[in-house]
Amino acid sequence: MIENEKQKALIKEQIGFLFEEALLEEIYSVGRIKKVDLGQVIMDPGEEVQFIPFIIEGSLKVSRENVDGDELLLYYIESGDTCAMTLQCCVTKSTSSIKATAMEDSILLTIPMQFMEDWMNRYASWRQYILESYHVRISELMETIDAIAFMRLDERLDKYLKDQAKLLGSLEINHTHQQIAEDLHSSRVVISRLLKQMESKGMIQLKRNKVILKGF
């Protein structure tokens, strides 16, 4: 149960406008606040899904991982969002097929999964939110597929850096070349070469474990 008034105020600020007061009271009653650190993995493939995560502050990266540990970035979720892949696991009562990692220090609101279907039946605002979340995430997945299929890697890298800057609210992106390569499912050598080319064109500045964009 969420009894801290500051936490209630934070929840209401981020998602209160989405739901009617009766549902918010249920959320306060069954929800739990979870703080996660930058880089912390909150869900792994094959893990049993115990809760529905709402992002109250911060952002998460959702990716797919193969048996060798290689990752492919699927989409990001940020304040006010939830994860459609997790919702799907709740509906089908299946284990997680994704990896979710904190992009920055974040605050999550977790709702036990058993409330999802009950609230779908009782609250129109909840049903609309869940369906819209599916729609947004599917659109983002389609955008990811289009980028892989139709964009050159240098174009994908440029888009990736700009998306990161928007997501984190900073032109300074504290990622290693290896991290970027993993997100784009490429090699560090190739990504380093492309970043050097971008730097020579005046698009970015490279520092140790950091890429600084020169604007959009």
Quick check: 12 and 20 in contact, CB under 8 A?
Answer: no
> What's CA 127's distance to the chain center, in Å?
21
Q: Residue 186: which CATH number?
A: 1.10.10.10
- Over residues 81-133, the pLDDT tens digits come to 988 888 888 777 788 889 999 999 999 999 998 898 899 999 999 999 999 99
Exposure string for 85-118, b = 16+ CB within 10 A, e = fewer:
bbbbbbeeeeebbbbbbbbbebbbbbbebebbee
Residues 87 and 114 grouped into a single domain: yes
Is the pTM value of this prediction over 0.85?
Answer: no
What is the reported pLDDT for 168?
87
In this structure, the chain runs to a length of 216
Of 149, 173, 202, which one is at a domain's C-terminal end?
149
Residues 79 and 164 grouped into a single domain: no
Residues 53 and 134 grouped into a single domain: yes
Q: How much is the mean pLDDT over the chain?
A: 90
Residues 94 and 29 grouped into a single domain: yes
Percent of the chain whose predicted confidence (pLDDT) is above 90 = 62
Which residues, other chains included, contact 50 with Cβ-Cβ below 8 Å and sequence gap of 6+?
A: 112, 113
User: Is residue 153 pLDDT above 90, yes or no?
Assistant: yes
Bigger pLDDT: 191 vs 1: 191
User: Is residue 216 pLDDT above 70, yes or no?
Assistant: no
User: Is residue 59 pLDDT above 70, yes or no?
Assistant: yes
